[in-house]
Amino acid sequence: MQSGSVTTPFGRRPMTLALVRRQVATSEASKDRPVDKWQVFRDVCESRALLGVQDRALAVLDALLTFHPVSELSSERAMVVFPSNAQLSVRAHGIAGTTLRRQLAALVEAGLVIRRDSPNGKRYARKDRDGEIETAYGFDLSPLHARAEELALMAQQVVAERMRFRRVKEELTIVRRDVRKLISAAMEEGADGDWSGIEDIYIALCARIPRRPDINQLVDLVEEMEMLRTEIINLLDAQENSQKTDTNDDRSGRHIQNSKSDSIHELEPRSEEEQGAKPADDEQPKREPVPIKNFPVGMVLRACPDIAMYGPGGTV
């Protein structure tokens, strides 16, 4: 541990081992490249819930960053700012003095800034002959530079959790709507089943949704709602399949009856014939015999004289 990397607060402000560890980690952190201070600030804003800081603390941090003369935080340049409380209050949108001190302590506790207190507790800077800052007492912004990657990962995690929360909440809304409409449709159309009991289960699940749910509560509710929706759909499908089966049985019965009647009809003529009934041809109307007309022999001989040779003795 480097002795110059640890500083203690002035006056009655307490010193904790956690602050010591943060200061040492900051001094040992990689300082190879500069980072954009406003990008780091946006990451802090995204991950404020994980850091345990409030909106007013972010306003104070924003005011502190405005006192840093350049837009980048780099180890090659001093990162200690030394504004007075009055100046900070103005740039923090007129925040009260007691609130300002409380939020500064919160930033130190969160490990975002380090106090560099002077022997008398004042904030100031001592410059060399060239006008460069040689020593400064105030608030050190180097933790923001050292924790830039960590804060970026925390911000990404928070954004991912927020998107997941939104997606799960949308799924819960959709599955609630599906279950409610399916139950209403089944009850209105008189479907078989204990729909009053199913509706009671649905109401009980809805009553378990808190006003400010967390992601785990929403996931559990979505799973139970999806199970209920699956049971409802399976019940309705079973009834639909049962109705189709009954309809097919009715059609098959009518088809069998028609087939039997046709077969009996085809066998009837044979059975009638075996019982001695008249064949179908006899039932057709018969033609009456045409009477044969008699012609005189003389007329026949005149019409066909050669027929006389066929008579007895060759004469008629």
* Tens place of pLDDT per residue across the chain (316 aa): 444 455 656 455 565 655 555 555 555 555 568 899 999 999 999 999 999 999 999 999 999 999 998 999 988 888 899 999 999 999 998 999 999 999 999 999 998 998 888 888 788 888 777 777 778 889 999 899 988 989 999 999 999 999 999 999 999 999 999 999 999 999 998 888 889 999 999 999 999 999 999 999 999 999 999 999 999 999 988 887 766 665 555 555 555 555 555 544 444 455 444 455 555 455 555 566 656 656 566 666 666 777 667 676 666 6
Encoded amino acid at 84, one letter: S
Residue 49 is encoded by which pair of tokens? 């819930």
Which of 269, 266, 287, 265 has the alpha carbon at shortest distance from 278?
Answer: 269
What pLDDT is recorded for position 3?
Answer: 44
What pLDDT is recorded for position 264?
Answer: 47
User: How far, rounded to the nearest angstrom, does the alpha carbon of residue 60 sit from its chain's CA centroid?
Assistant: 39
What pLDDT is recorded for position 248?
Answer: 54
Measured distance CA(43)–CA(159) in Å, rounded? 10
CATH number of the 3-146 domain: 1.10.10
| SS3 of residue 138 by DSSP | strand
What pLDDT is recorded for position 1?
Answer: 41
Sorted by where each begins, the domain ranges of the chain are: 3-146, 161-246
What pLDDT is recorded for position 129?
Answer: 78
Contact between 269 and 275 (Cβ < 8 Å): no
Contact between 175 and 222 (Cβ < 8 Å): yes
What pLDDT is recorded for position 122?
Answer: 86
What pLDDT is recorded for position 252?
Answer: 56
Residue 263 is encoded by which pair of tokens? 């077969």
Angle at 147 between CA 144 and CA 150, to 5 degrees: 135
Query: What radius of gyration, in Å, describes the C-alpha atoms of the chain?
Result: 54
Verdict on whether the full-model pTM lies above 0.75: no
What pLDDT is recorded for position 125?
Answer: 83
Q: What are phi and psi of 275, to 5 degrees?
A: -85, 5
What pLDDT is recorded for position 295?
Answer: 59
Residue 151 is encoded by which pair of tokens? 């804060």
Between the CA of residue 191 and those of 122, 175, 181, 183, 272, what are the distances in Å?
A: 81, 21, 14, 10, 54
